[in-house]
Amino acid sequence: MTIPADLKYTKDHEWVRIEGDIATFGISDHAQEALGDIVFVELPEIGRTIDAGEAYAVVESVKAVSDVYAPVAGEVIEVNEELEGEPEKVNSDAYGAGWIAKVKMSGETLELMSDDEYTTFLEE
Amino acid sequence: MINPDYKYSGTNGIQHEEPLLFEHAHEAPESISLPGVDGPLSDALLAFARKTPANIPGLSEPETVRHFVRLSQWNHGIETGFYPLGSCTMKYNPRVNEQVVRLPGLAHIHPDQPEDTAQGALELLYETQQWLGEISGLPYVTLQPAAGAHGELVGLMMIKAYLDARGESNRRKVLVPDSAHGTNPASAALCGMQTVELKSGADGRIDLDELKAHLDENTAALMMTNPNTAGAFESDIKEICQLVHDAGGMVYGDGANLNALVGVARPGDMGIDCLHINVHKTFSTPHGGGGPGGGPVAVNEALAPYLPVPRIVNNGDSYALVHSDENSIGPVLGSAGQIGVLLRANAYISAFGRQHLHQIAEDAVLNANYVLHRLKDRYHVPFEGLCKHECLLTDELQHSHGVKTLDIAKRLIDLGFHPMTVYFPLIVHGAMLIEPTETESRETLDAFCDAMLEIADQCEAGDTEMLHEAPVKPFRRRLDETQAARNPVLTWKEQ
């Protein structure tokens, strides 16, 4: 299982990459493995304003349907439309081609963990 | 002494490959001989006549019968073997139920025939309604909802109507624990309400602080299942209901797990305001594969004015249907209820009677704890203590050998059993939820537990290849569930 050092993580196993005021969201390798084969990703609409901790997407696997929560607040500026046809990218490349949405940050954030803190969190 | 070769019921009967109906090779539907029409058809009717022949596969009657019987032989039902599907209460469907519903006066009845010609059926339905009210402790009952989820929607519609009548149309928030059946949030959404998820406590039960934190002036209801989907009784139920009521909300009870309580404890006495009862689960009517079900809803006095119409009432020595009431949410089915399902339930309740109904819950809970006791040292038990009517295990001990819940479930098919519910509830990883029900003998439970222990042995011995390939014995091997979900092919098309 991989946990890249350049990302931040939440207790609900989302990752966020912050570059300037743009944040990219996805779910962690641990999350995709626990969910199993992803069969559908419901993406948010572009322009939607989301609060930190708000459910902004839905990931459906063969086992379960799960809400995905926003690590930081902002306005959705881009979504990964490739996931509509190839949701398996979340499984095969959770931190790369499996990204879900990008937001323009508005400030508020959840409590975020570093890679080391997330590793410790998973061990607990 | 059972021959050891027959220890498990096995899955190796004679089975036949069978193409789809349309893949049968006949050119024309030679076997179908429809009667001609007497006299000329009117122009109005002819306007609807087909211009091209219907694409009906040309099968004879025996070929058609064999087609469906062969497909049924690939299946596993409660009448072919043990079916411990957690939260589904797959109990045996007694033959006497079938005798009752096939009585000509009941089998050939029509929902719209005059009431004075259907007094016997109305009396039985009224009796069923009153019994469900007494069993649930919620005396006002509608028999109309056609399934559990339909009952959820109807219950929430009544709660919404009640709140609106109080001028509290702001109350649209429905709290749902993260252990809930998926139908709960779906029903709330369909009813135009917003779902708020409550995180379960460390013991798998509702966390009172989490509940308090989410209760407010916009709360319409808490939807909960007791015992919950981890098979644990919500021991704080009185306080939970009090908190919700103090905040001005209602408590909706999901009756899917009523089998653990029937005849012993009553949801109405616990403070629950509204409960649907899955008669197809608790009261032994055939279900699975999409129906037929029955989801009567029982409510307290506050919600009673909003019950659907028609309502079945007793006017002294006769029975009638009341078709309108100013506060009612209206009809929710084309008739007063699915009579075949409701009468089977009546037969099951009658077979026990008031004095012995508690035997259902007691034996169901005993059987689940027996299974838990036999398996608890070899499978991880996420929540300690006695369970109610179902027991929850996980694949944690097998995971290090590279074996997952899905592999265990598939291997059970080889050993002659329907798998348990897998990956539900969502609050534990690799969940295996086992509900044996009260209708199984100790020998059947032992055979199932032996199979589970054999799988644990295989796992520890590193004999995992067989587990990953399972099932190897049935007619169809492991199906590609991912592909089926990503690219579902739901209709037949000529290539």
CATH architecture, range B97-356: 3-Layer(aba) Sandwich (3.40)
For residues A25 and A99, the answer to whether their CB atoms sit within 8 Å is yes
pLDDT in tens, chain A (124 residues): 789 999 999 999 999 999 999 999 999 999 999 899 999 999 999 999 999 999 999 999 988 888 999 999 999 999 999 999 999 999 999 999 999 999 999 988 899 999 999 999 998 8
**B358-375 vs B442-460: helix axis angle to the nearest 10?**
20
Tell whether the torsion through CA atoms of B368, B373, B379 and B383 is positive or negative. Answer: positive
The reply to whether residue B197 touches residue A37, judged by beta carbons under 8 angstroms, is: no
> What does the alpha-carbon distance between residue B223 and residue B231 come to, in Å, rounded to a whole number?
16
State pLDDT tens for residues B237-295.
999 999 999 999 999 999 999 999 999 999 999 999 999 999 999 999 988 766 689 99
Mutate to test the interface with B, among A63, A66, A84 (most CBs of B within 10 A): A63
Count chain A–chain B contacts defined by CB atoms under 8 A: 24
B196, containing H or E segment:
strand B194-198
- A11–chain B Cβ distance below 8 A for any pair: no
Region B317-344 average pLDDT: 95
pLDDT value at residue B468: 95
> What does the alpha-carbon distance between residue B74 and residue B83 come to, in Å, rounded to a whole number?
15
Mutate to test the interface with A, among B197, B479, B482, B487 (most CBs of A within 10 A): B482
Closest CA to A70 of A94, A38, A40, A104: A104
Q: Name the residue among B197, B423, B486 with its Cβ closest to that of A63.
A: B423
> Which single residue is written with the structure tokens 């004015």?
B305
DSSP character at residue A113? B
Nearest CA in chain B to A65: B182
State pLDDT tens for residues A46-56.
999 999 999 99
State pLDDT tens for residues B113-151.
999 999 999 999 999 999 999 999 999 999 999 999 999
Nearest CA in chain A to B480: A62
Kindly list the residues of chain B whose beta carbon comes within 8 Å of any beta carbon in chain A. 182, 197, 422-424, 426, 429, 481-482, 485-486
Helix (H, G, I), strand (E, B) or coil at B200: strand
CA distances from B493 to B20, B21, B22, B489 (A): 11, 12, 9, 10
pLDDT value at residue B250: 98
Buried b (16+ CB within 10 A) or exposed e, B170-194: ebbbbbbbebbbebbbebbeebebe
Cα angle value B22/B28/B32 (rounded, 5°): 95
Domain with A32, as residue range(s), is 8-117
Could you tell me if the ipTM is greater than 0.90?
no
B194, containing H or E segment:
strand B194-198
> What does the alpha-carbon distance between residue B320 and residue B122 come to, in Å, rounded to a whole number?
7
Region B341-367 average pLDDT: 97
Q: Which two tokens stand for residue B248?
A: 């001005």
CA distances from B442 to A68, B89, B387, B437, B445 (A): 44, 17, 18, 11, 5
The reply to whether residue B481 touches residue A40, judged by beta carbons under 8 angstroms, is: no
Tell whether the torsion through CA atoms of B407, B410, B416 and B419 is positive or negative. Answer: positive
Amino acid identity of B39? G
The reply to whether residue A40 touches residue B429, judged by beta carbons under 8 angstroms, is: no
Region B52-68 average pLDDT: 84
Count of domains for chain A = 1
Average pLDDT, chain A: 94
Region B437-443 average pLDDT: 97
**Where residue B301 falls among pLDDT bands split at 50, 70, 90?**
very high
Residues of A in contact with B197 (CB under 8 A): 67
**Where residue B2 falls among pLDDT bands split at 50, 70, 90?**
very low
For residues A73 and A82, the answer to whether their CB atoms sit within 8 Å is no
**Where residue B25 falls among pLDDT bands split at 50, 70, 90?**
low
Q: What is the CA radius of gyration of chain B?
A: 25
Asked whether the predicted pLDDT for residue B28 surpasses 80, the reply is: no
Asked whether the predicted pLDDT for residue B11 surpasses 60, the reply is: no
CATH architecture, range B358-478: Alpha-Beta Complex (3.90)
The reply to whether residue B426 touches residue A64, judged by beta carbons under 8 angstroms, is: yes
- A62–chain B Cβ distance below 8 A for any pair: yes
Strands (E), B274-361: 274-276, 297-299, 311-315, 318-322
Residue A86 located in a structural domain: yes
> What does the alpha-carbon distance between residue B430 and residue B420 come to, in Å, rounded to a whole number?
12
The reply to whether residue B485 touches residue A63, judged by beta carbons under 8 angstroms, is: no
Half-sphere exposure of B47 (CA within 13 A, CB side): 3
The reply to whether residue A39 touches residue B482, judged by beta carbons under 8 angstroms, is: yes
- A10–chain B Cβ distance below 8 A for any pair: no
The reply to whether residue B426 touches residue A40, judged by beta carbons under 8 angstroms, is: no
Strand pairing of A55-61 and A38-42?
A: antiparallel
> What does the alpha-carbon distance between residue B419 and residue B412 come to, in Å, rounded to a whole number?
6
Residues of B in contact with A42 (CB under 8 A): none
Cα angle value B167/B206/B282 (rounded, 5°): 85
B282, containing H or E segment:
helix B279-282
The reply to whether residue B429 touches residue A34, judged by beta carbons under 8 angstroms, is: yes
Nearest CA in chain A to B406: A63
- A46–chain B Cβ distance below 8 A for any pair: no
Q: Name the residue among B197, B426, B485 with its Cβ closest to that of A62.
A: B485
Residue A124 located in a structural domain: no
State pLDDT tens for residues B377-412.
999 999 999 999 999 999 999 999 999 999 999 999
> What does the alpha-carbon distance between residue B11 and residue B305 come to, in Å, rounded to a whole number?
52
DSSP B374-421: HHTTTSB-SS-S--SSSEEEESHHHHTTT--HHHHHHHHHHTT----E
Residues of A in contact with B423 (CB under 8 A): 36, 63-64
Closest CA to A76 of A38, A118, A48: A48
- A87–chain B Cβ distance below 8 A for any pair: yes
Residue A1 located in a structural domain: no
> What does the alpha-carbon distance between residue B177 and residue B199 come to, in Å, rounded to a whole number?
6
Tell whether the torsion through CA atoms of B208, B212, B213 and B215 is positive or negative. Answer: positive
For residues B341 and B279, the answer to whether their CB atoms sit within 8 Å is yes
For residues B335 and B321, the answer to whether their CB atoms sit within 8 Å is no
* Partners of residue B394 on adjacent β-strands: B380, B431
Residue A28 located in a structural domain: yes
Q: Name the residue among A40, A60, A64 with its Cβ closest to that of B423.
A: A64
pLDDT value at residue B1: 41
- A34–chain B Cβ distance below 8 A for any pair: yes
Strands (E), chain A: 8-9, 14-19, 22-27, 38-42, 49-50, 55-61, 65-69, 72-79, 101-109
* Partners of residue A70 on adjacent β-strands: none
Comparing B422 with B3, the larger pLDDT belongs to B422
Q: Which region holds residue B157: left if phi is over 0, alpha if psi is between -120 and 50, else beta?
A: alpha
Helix (H, G, I), strand (E, B) or coil at B141: strand
Region B428-443 average pLDDT: 96
Q: Which two tokens stand for residue B275?
A: 């409960």
> What does the alpha-carbon distance between residue A79 and residue A44 come to, in Å, rounded to a whole number?
7
Q: What is the CA radius of gyration of chain A?
A: 13
Helix (H, G, I), strand (E, B) or coil at A39: strand
Q: CATH number of the domain that A84 lies in?
A: 2.40.50.100
The reply to whether residue A66 touches residue B485, judged by beta carbons under 8 angstroms, is: no
Q: How far is A20 from chain B, CA to nearest CA, in Å?
A: 32
Nearest CA in chain A to B399: A34
Domain ranges in chain B are: 97-356, 358-478
CA distances from B303 to B185, B226, B275, B278 (A): 21, 20, 11, 20
Average pLDDT, chain B: 92
pLDDT value at residue A9: 97
pLDDT value at residue B467: 94
Comparing B187 with B473, the larger pLDDT belongs to B187
- A67–chain B Cβ distance below 8 A for any pair: yes
Residue A91 located in a structural domain: yes
